[in-house]
């Protein structure tokens, strides 16, 4: 995967965390810089950790499914992307104003499950895993921190658009992987 593809993938994966960060920003009456840093750290940290765990898991099965790996990568990315798009048309989620461990941990895990599945696909693709997880974590950190501020200032106007865009990016990347493998043997 090229650096541009990794950046696009990172942005796509960060959109769930961005949407939740907007909700967190909406819930806060008096926003502090620490709110954005906390959201960024939780979401960015888990978005970096989960693909690493997925990659480690995928490496265990690499030889068994090498002949269909492109179909697995395509299927996972399209399913994750389609789910994000479906969720973008759902009702708005409400959040409480807490940035405490017990409030942030479940949100960080829930928003990074997609990244775990993407990490599995890394085992079957030509991906620099350290670069990938670094980009995913850093980009999610920045986007999540910004999401808290955007949510606090602008409200929920961008939440569903962010989820839709993230889903579309993942679907496009899945299709690209499949096309490259079928037509170019990559």
Section 154-166 average pLDDT: 73
pLDDT of 125 reads 87
The tens digit of pLDDT for each residue in 85-116 reads: 887 787 655 566 789 998 899 989 988 888 99
- Residue of higher predicted confidence among 61 and 9: 9
pLDDT on residue 156: 59
Lowest mean pLDDT among 50-64, 141-155, 157-171: 157-171
Higher pLDDT, 69 or 19: 19
The tens digit of pLDDT for each residue in 32-44 reads 999 999 999 999 9
DSSP the chain: --HHHHHHHHHHHHHHHHHHHHHHHHH-SS--HHHHHHHHHHHHHHHHHHHHHHHHHHHHTTTTTGGGHHHHHHHHHHHHHHHHHHHHTSPPPP--S--SHHHHHHHHHHHHHHHHHHHHHHTTS---HHHHHHHHHHHHHHHHHHHHHHHHHH-GGGHHHHHHHHHHHHHHHHHHHHHHHHHH--
Q: Which residue has the higher pLDDT, 41 or 162?
A: 41
Mean pLDDT across 115-125 = 90
What integer pLDDT is reported at residue 54 of this predicted model? 94
Tell me what the mean pLDDT of segment 130-135 comes to.
Answer: 98
Percentage of residues in the chain having pLDDT higher than 90: 42
């Amino acid at each position: 995967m090229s650096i541009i593809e990794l950046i696009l993938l990172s942005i796509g994966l960060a959109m769930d965390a961005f949407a939740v960060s907007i909700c967190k920003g909406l819930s806060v009456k008096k926003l502090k810089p620490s709110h954005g840093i906390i959201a960024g750290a939780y979401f960015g940290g888990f978005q970096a950790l989960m693909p690493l765990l997925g990659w480690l898991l995928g490496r265990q099965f690499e030889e068994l499914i090498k002949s269909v790996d492109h179909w697995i990568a395509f299927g996972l990315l399209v399913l994750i992307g389609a789910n994000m798009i479906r969720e973008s048309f759902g009702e708005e989620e409400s959040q409480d104003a807490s940035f405490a461990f017990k409030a942030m941990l479940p949100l960080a895990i829930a928003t990074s499950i997609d990244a775990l599945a993407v990490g599995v696909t890394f085992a079957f693709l030509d991906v620099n895993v350290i670069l990938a997880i670094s980009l995913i974590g850093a980009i999610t950190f920045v986007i999540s921190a910004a999401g808290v501020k955007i949510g606090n200032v602008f409200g929920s106007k961008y939440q569903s658009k962010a989820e839709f865009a993230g889903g579309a990016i993942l679907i496009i990347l899945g299709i690209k992987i499949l096309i490259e493998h079928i037509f170019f043997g990559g």
